[in-house]
Structure 1
């Protein structure tokens, strides 16, 4: 880490040393002597008009270039509606501070359109808060993807996973010619579209769907990137296909094809490999867990945020443990996997009608070996666990979505959304768990074998009708939603225990722990009908009254049958089996007053909500009722939101809301889950809802003149009646978990990001830091355990693109995590996570390219004696060949040091753990790529040509 920081400092000093004291300044006015604010001014090379640097004039039209090399320049100034100004600036050694005085731009007259000569275009232009990049001004190697192009754009960053940040904010949506692409999944667009097809890249803060449809500003923004295609790519098909083979029988293939025009977009993507590339979509992991990742409701729930109100689905992200208690160890980038995926995307877009549809299939077959070391803290002692697991995971999913929007007329709009997913997944695992005392003596072993398979089906559909009245700002909307979620699960669970005699501390096996051999069948289903009403009435030009109503009726049933496989007759175990039928009725009515003027948007509102949970329990379906739940929850919830547009790309946001989360159905069900005999779980039908008090403050600033951007945020959440799992640990270490309510937990987080150019378009740097402090409460054997977590993170990034044929992106991150416990304070922990990432692209003569990717991570925890160094180096060399440079041949070496493993460290409740997963290591691969539309270098005197 020290060497890296010294290298960054040396590069920075070298850049400053390279800079000279020569400067050029001036001011821009029109023919009426009015200043032309924020005009884009470029310095070009007189030899080939290639861009050297640029600035943006200030509000008075003044501009200044500093630290220039002592040479001649071609100065170019452009402003919308004016004839571009271009002038040769001769270097005079006697004048190191050259003042050009006032430069006059003439307005374009109609008769001048025929005689305006097109010259070098500006690399960027600014239209309000939208930054528009001219893709042709940012050179990338032939055959590059949009992801490679975005890395070159000032103010845009791509991390190792392909996530995008623009001006320090995460990009949530990437569109193509303003149209959705595979359900707005940013990575599918950036990884599969060629950079050659892009004419312009536009970065802006998009309005919410509600603000677009109603015309009433709500102050909400979403960072969006729009890719504008070149005209020639709208007239025919284009695409790319790659096939490769390597050592250790590694193979891969992927292809995409696109055909776009002004009204239609059609795209096909697909791949298959055994090199751990688990998907084109960032939803694969969620799909494996049985959840849906998209925001399928498309704002069909009107009114301000529900503050975390939980709607109940089995198998969703938050309720992943509603599945049977089989360890879910699957995760992308781990183990060894075979992966297949493919999808279709079709969009139809006219002024009145918009259709967006896609289908996506993905399949992953993974083997995973994992070692996990954990320490458990008890009120008077502690013990260790060493887990060795061998897992086989398989998932297959079919996803589809359809969005139809029809503008009936200027006052009426109809939107229909239909989304679905059908999938199946299986998992088998063999686990060996050693229990050790503080003297490192093994006193117990648990050998378990589990198999699991499940099928699931999810359907979500919503319809929205919006009506604008003739009076501006008066709106009415109604929505209807139907959701369906079914899951069928089958598991076989076996656990065998062995005891060993030890000299040190003993935890003798008691009657609470028994060997396990059982079959569990789980069938669950849910059907939900929802509706919302919204009415907006302008009280003045600046004030709007918003009134809304939300209704939901959800019916669920769970059929859980447990069979004892120790007996030949395989009897049903009634004490562990249950049939549960329940209904949740939700009603909410609220109102909010919204003020909007001169960029200030203030909303204050209050809502009254009520939901009733009614449930019945049976030993088996059709038998007599053995218990029920009848709970009614009421709350008055305030909501305040302040969004202030300070102009010139500066924003200030503040939000405060109170939310009410109902207990999960799993936690309410009064039956015992003994899937793991060491950790038995009971339900609690007397749980109260959790109240959350959330506040967030966020500031964003981007200076389009200096290209400096700053983001800073602070958030705080406090919990009342938080549902936690209390632990009753027996003398044999078997633990019974029971959900209970507790108050006093909280989370506090601070984040800041600062990015700035050292030399525009050549060298840029970013610094970011964050800290998080959390307090989590739970009881262990009726004794309160307060777990405090303190996380500190510091990161830096340096982007070097000094010349067209070389680029280097390097980042470094350091993290410190402190975990403290009120029980067994001597076991407080501190662990470190440090990393360095580097990516280099170098062009050699004859269109030969060389790339390197280096990732180094260091994990350390002195308490567990854990100290892991993982350096990963990937090397690649390729050459562009063939007629019109349509083909590429690449030789790659992955994990040159043969050190690749997956490492995780965690601290939660009364447990700390570290795990190491084996994964794909060193291999060679040769790939061939063919571009279905020729790529021809068009800029003369460029290193990109022969």
Structure 2
């Protein structure tokens, strides 16, 4: 019996082994020169559906493993060469089919039609790039790129337009590998039509220095590249839209694009008063005080204030702009290849924004000796004008030398007016103090940044030298007026009347130079030596005058003149080893930092120096063409901002003061990042995950002191450390029979930080556990449905005697598009936002419903006449909650209510599509020369 089982097991093992075999070979041109990175396909000969695939290496060698027995169609494609096909059958002997050297033939001038049946793979993974086939993710007619991104697994887009891919914020969106209006992602995602995109590629963009030298310097920028359809790269496309609605609402938008070989020209223009921005408002937010004054929270946003830079960490990212906004914007973008050696990218963009916001604040404060309540009613009226210009000139001097010059200039002008009344109330409902104030602020800011990169390649392959020089200049000037009446009650009742004018100028200059040399060591090993020098110069002058009976008296306590000089010297050495399956970089640097400061009006000088060792390790492993693992460890030093260093009292809110700290030290951060991606081309199943750990010593946090009059003073200070651990995973799979696709994701974050209250240190723990589920259904071109649910459970606990805060935030969305009688389309979008704070028994549910009916007219449905109602249920209210070191705050803000709008959209890309190619998968006809 044992012998029989042994024989049976051996036979089964032989059969199982025979079930799989391997195909290998090498691809060359007719002169036997290798063709690197060619695409190798294995197709079903019956219907040409994809069975397996691979890619050639730098020497043209390819390998396809685990091929099932039977007949297959082997196919190779390479740009500029005719496709190569060959029938493959299970080998009679052995488990390897060696096709030897395959000589690809140059493409002829005759047109050849090739039909590929079946749907293109919705997701592919190419080393560190995740590529989505745009046609596999259906969008409605005249949708923009942002609508397409919302359907991609692992990609999140909040209502304010911020994009997150695989848990990291996307900082740049490019078009066919070229910059599009600088680095503002919204200018591409909210203005370009979705149906011109062929592929969406998500990757970490490395610095120019790293790309040239081959040594990873750790500088990465999460980037999306929009690869356009071939027919769009040699033609014109765009959309024109105009609409008018009830309550004097209006919206106009235009984008015109003319692409040809070696040239991209784009124009954008927009204007509306319906709170829609096709651009980022970073300059406006930075100038007016950031998110604290913008309150970009939407219907409900809950956040925890425990980070290092006085900006709250949002607990829910589905924010919308509160208040009423009117904006106008326009610009032009040019990419031009003069020849094979010279390429120019340039753009200019202007935007004007007017923002009106009414807000009520209720804050519950917790103190060791008792609690109190803060109430405030405020009205803000802000306006901002912004000009931006960017350019990049890349020139190849010869085969060994190249120059790259980049520069950007911004000019920003803002006017702000705020009126408010506020009071602090004891638990016995006794008013402790109250304030009425008016603040006016006007000013402008000019910034210039430029970079010159020179790259040189020596005759010996892998030996390089490069120099990167940078210059940054910024000038800021602001004038302000404070008119306030403060009343204090209790044991020492008094009235304070403040009327002050102020003028602050800030001059900033930065110089830096990086020098890098790489030396090949043989065996695909490299050594890089680098040196960096940087100097940051700040000159801040603030003068404050007390106004009394039209006389101005200099206020010495609130005025200040301050200069600082930061110098950095960093020398580093990196070792890199490249293998067929993996590559590793091990290195580090030593940084010496010098700080010289002069508090002129206080006759105080600061002279400090710091030395830090900055190690780094990076490891990439490729299990296969579709499965990759990446690990990074890096360290960094971040110096305090000039605002944090100024020992000047900011009394724009007399009951909540802020003063800087010239004794701040730089923070030292260590980061560990692990990332894994996989994609199965046979089943179209994909899985992405990452884990991040960040540990910071000398972390900068905000210390708060509250006096007997309940006046709060906030000062940045250094604490021992802070730490955060976060993870994210996404699993996506289709069900072809149901014409559906599912995407399931989860994320976790655990953050620990230290804050100070009345000179007592307190530890705050924030834990967030969330998940999301997406479902997409598509029935031909008639109906599509998208459902999603996002759930977050957040617990914030305090060492200080303060009640723990438990937030449960849920967002449910549904979007559908139904095409009737070929030329009619009904679209609906519904969001149900549900937020709960179990600690305070607060619960808020907000339904948001939008409906529209469209009639398509003109040839190829180029025109769309649409009647839409936005916010049908008229939820014209915004609510945000903030949990901080010793208080819980709720703000109620006015928001845009219900309105109807009739609009007409003309899609130029419909008229200029002579090939009439279909969107989506299915049968594709490709014309090849």
**In structure 1, the residue corresponding to 2:718 is in which secondary structure?**
strand
When residues 760 and 575 of structure 1 are mapped into structure 2, their CA distance, relative to the original with a 3 A threshold, is farther
Worse-matched range after superposition: 339-348 or 584-593: 584-593
Paired position in structure 1 for 2:328: 340
- Confirm or deny: 8 A CA contact 2:577 2:584 kept in the other structure: yes
Matching of residue 525 in structure 1 with residue 507 in structure 2: yes
- Confirm or deny: 8 A CA contact 1:82 1:108 kept in the other structure: no
Q: Which has the higher contact order (CA 8 A, sep 6+)?
A: 2
**In structure 2, the residue corresponding to 1:188 is in which secondary structure?**
helix
When residues 779 and 885 of structure 1 are mapped into structure 2, their CA distance, relative to the original with a 3 A threshold, is closer
- Confirm or deny: 8 A CA contact 1:428 1:451 kept in the other structure: yes
- Confirm or deny: 8 A CA contact 1:56 1:63 kept in the other structure: no
CA displacement, residues 786-808 of structure 1 (integer Å, 9 cap, x when unaligned) = 22222222221112223322111
**In structure 2, the residue corresponding to 1:118 is in which secondary structure?**
strand
Paired position in structure 2 for 1:805: 782
- Confirm or deny: 8 A CA contact 1:819 1:830 kept in the other structure: yes
Paired position in structure 1 for 2:442: 453
When residues 435 and 720 of structure 1 are mapped into structure 2, their CA distance, relative to the original with a 3 A threshold, is same
Deviation at 1:904, TM superposition (A): 2.2
- Confirm or deny: 8 A CA contact 2:138 2:784 kept in the other structure: no
Matching of residue 723 in structure 1 with residue 700 in structure 2: yes
Paired position in structure 2 for 1:870: 846
Deviation at 1:163, TM superposition (A): 5.4
Matching of residue 179 in structure 1 with residue 185 in structure 2: no
Paired position in structure 1 for 2:57: none
Paired position in structure 2 for 1:823: 800
When residues 651 and 60 of structure 1 are mapped into structure 2, their CA distance, relative to the original with a 3 A threshold, is closer
Deviation at 1:574, TM superposition (A): 1.2
When residues 138 and 858 of structure 1 are mapped into structure 2, their CA distance, relative to the original with a 3 A threshold, is closer
Paired position in structure 2 for 1:212: 211
Matching of residue 572 in structure 1 with residue 569 in structure 2: no
**In structure 1, the residue corresponding to 2:873 is in which secondary structure?**
coil
CA displacement, residues 142-184 of structure 1 (integer Å, 9 cap, x when unaligned) = 5444445566778877665555677887665443333222225
TM-score normalised per structure 1: 0.80
Cα distance in 2 for partners of 1:112, 1:600 equals 34
When residues 863 and 384 of structure 1 are mapped into structure 2, their CA distance, relative to the original with a 3 A threshold, is farther
Q: 1:410 aligns with which of 361, 379, 399?
A: 399
Q: 2:830 aligns with which of 829, 851, 854?
A: 854
Task: Report the count of equivalent residues.
Answer: 838
Cα distance in 2 for partners of 1:319, 1:128 equals 37
Matching of residue 750 in structure 1 with residue 727 in structure 2: yes
1:693-842 maps to which residues of 2 (within 5 A)? 693-759=670-736, 762-825=739-802, 827-842=803-818
**In structure 1, the residue corresponding to 2:419 is in which secondary structure?**
strand
Cα distance in 2 for partners of 1:191, 1:43 equals 42
Q: What is the root-mean-square deviation of aligned Cα atoms in Å?
A: 4.0
**In structure 2, the residue corresponding to 1:667 is in which secondary structure?**
helix
Cα distance in 2 for partners of 1:29, 1:549 equals 48
Cα distance in 1 for partners of 2:555, 2:641 equals 24
**In structure 2, the residue corresponding to 1:927 is in which secondary structure?**
strand
Deviation at 1:62, TM superposition (A): 3.6
Stretches of structure 1 that go unaligned for 5 or more consecutive residues are 1-25, 45-50, 65-74, 87-102, 294-316, 322-330, 501-506, 620-624
**In structure 1, the residue corresponding to 2:872 is in which secondary structure?**
coil
- Confirm or deny: 8 A CA contact 2:745 2:773 kept in the other structure: yes
Matching of residue 494 in structure 1 with residue 483 in structure 2: yes
- Confirm or deny: 8 A CA contact 2:50 2:682 kept in the other structure: no
Paired position in structure 2 for 1:547: 529
Deviation at 1:392, TM superposition (A): 0.8
Matching of residue 656 in structure 1 with residue 652 in structure 2: no
Matching of residue 594 in structure 1 with residue 576 in structure 2: yes
Matching of residue 919 in structure 1 with residue 919 in structure 2: no
When residues 795 and 900 of structure 1 are mapped into structure 2, their CA distance, relative to the original with a 3 A threshold, is farther
Worse-matched range after superposition: 651-660 or 539-548: 651-660
Paired position in structure 1 for 2:90: none
Paired position in structure 1 for 2:516: 534
CA displacement, residues 716-770 of structure 1 (integer Å, 9 cap, x when unaligned) = 2233222333333222212333433321432222222222223389312222222
Deviation at 1:284, TM superposition (A): 1.7
Cα distance in 1 for partners of 2:817, 2:390 equals 38
Paired position in structure 1 for 2:42: 39
**In structure 1, the residue corresponding to 2:446 is in which secondary structure?**
strand
Q: 1:60 aligns with which of 59, 66, 69?
A: 66
Cα distance in 1 for partners of 2:683, 2:617 equals 34
Deviation at 1:428, TM superposition (A): 0.9
Cα distance in 1 for partners of 2:858, 2:324 equals 35
1:296-695 maps to which residues of 2 (within 5 A)? 333-349=321-337, 350-498=339-487, 514-619=496-601, 626-695=603-672
**In structure 1, the residue corresponding to 2:460 is in which secondary structure?**
coil
Worse-matched range after superposition: 587-596 or 694-703: 694-703
Paired position in structure 2 for 1:193: 192
Deviation at 1:268, TM superposition (A): 0.3
Stretches of structure 2 that go unaligned for 5 or more consecutive residues are 1-18, 28-38, 54-63, 88-96, 291-306, 312-318, 923-929
- Confirm or deny: 8 A CA contact 2:253 2:269 kept in the other structure: yes
When residues 924 and 600 of structure 1 are mapped into structure 2, their CA distance, relative to the original with a 3 A threshold, is same
- Confirm or deny: 8 A CA contact 2:153 2:732 kept in the other structure: no
- Confirm or deny: 8 A CA contact 2:631 2:673 kept in the other structure: yes
When residues 218 and 873 of structure 1 are mapped into structure 2, their CA distance, relative to the original with a 3 A threshold, is same
Cα distance in 2 for partners of 1:30, 1:770 equals 40
Cα distance in 1 for partners of 2:430, 2:46 equals 72
Cα distance in 2 for partners of 1:456, 1:442 equals 41
CA displacement, residues 332-388 of structure 1 (integer Å, 9 cap, x when unaligned) = 621101111111000112431111111011111010112222222222222222222
TM-score normalised per structure 2: 0.81
- Confirm or deny: 8 A CA contact 1:219 1:601 kept in the other structure: no
- Confirm or deny: 8 A CA contact 1:460 1:482 kept in the other structure: yes
When residues 865 and 367 of structure 1 are mapped into structure 2, their CA distance, relative to the original with a 3 A threshold, is farther
Deviation at 1:897, TM superposition (A): 0.5
Paired position in structure 1 for 2:12: none
Cα distance in 2 for partners of 1:462, 1:700 equals 34
- Confirm or deny: 8 A CA contact 2:191 2:255 kept in the other structure: yes
Paired position in structure 1 for 2:114: 118
CA displacement, residues 264-321 of structure 1 (integer Å, 9 cap, x when unaligned) = 111100001111112x22x32344414999xxxxxxxxxxxxxxxxxxxxxxx99899
Paired position in structure 2 for 1:845: 821
Deviation at 1:515, TM superposition (A): 3.8
Cα distance in 2 for partners of 1:725, 1:166 equals 31
CA displacement, residues 182-217 of structure 1 (integer Å, 9 cap, x when unaligned) = 225444334333345455666667665334323557
Cα distance in 2 for partners of 1:201, 1:429 equals 43
- Confirm or deny: 8 A CA contact 1:168 1:709 kept in the other structure: no
Paired position in structure 2 for 1:296: none
- Confirm or deny: 8 A CA contact 2:565 2:596 kept in the other structure: yes
- Confirm or deny: 8 A CA contact 1:216 1:473 kept in the other structure: no
- Confirm or deny: 8 A CA contact 2:411 2:447 kept in the other structure: yes
